[in-house]
Amino acid sequence: MATERAVHQTGRAASDLVALADYFAERAGVQLALRFLDAAERAFEQLRDAPRIGALLGLDELPYEGMRRWHVDGFPHLLIVYRVLSDGVEVVRVLHTARDLPAALRAAP
């Protein structure tokens, strides 16, 4: 029997989603915030179904080696940083592309 693949989110990723949805709701309305959350969920499903679809992030230092990046459709400046697991994917962060990615990944939870 095949094992079902899953999407795991770190606490930081969950916090990122809430913060981004709050940002969109405050500045552009609840509809945009909901559209963002739907698009993020679809992106997570894409990653679950094809975990190596995203490009390598390119950080070779521990523990970031092997991390990948993917986009949120309709939100070109948002980046999903994730890693492939044996049972699916782990979404590590959801960040704006203008952020210093190595610093954001190293930030304490």
Q: Structural domains in the chain?
A: 6-106 (3.30.2310.20)
Full-prediction pTM beyond 0.85? yes
Average pLDDT of the chain is 92
Higher model confidence: residue 45 or residue 103? 45
Spell out the residues 6+ positions from residue 13 whose beta carbon is closer than 8 angstroms to its own.
91, 92, 93, 94
**What tens digit of pLDDT does each residue of 40-78 get?**
999 999 999 999 999 998 877 767 788 999 999 999 999
List residues bridging with 71 in a β-sheet: 79
Q: Phi, psi (5° rounding) for residue 28?
A: -135, -5
List residues bridging with 96 in a β-sheet: 78
- Cα–Cα dist 80/72, whole Å: 7
Beta pairing, strands 6-9 & 88-96? parallel
Q: Is the pLDDT of residue 1 over 50?
A: no
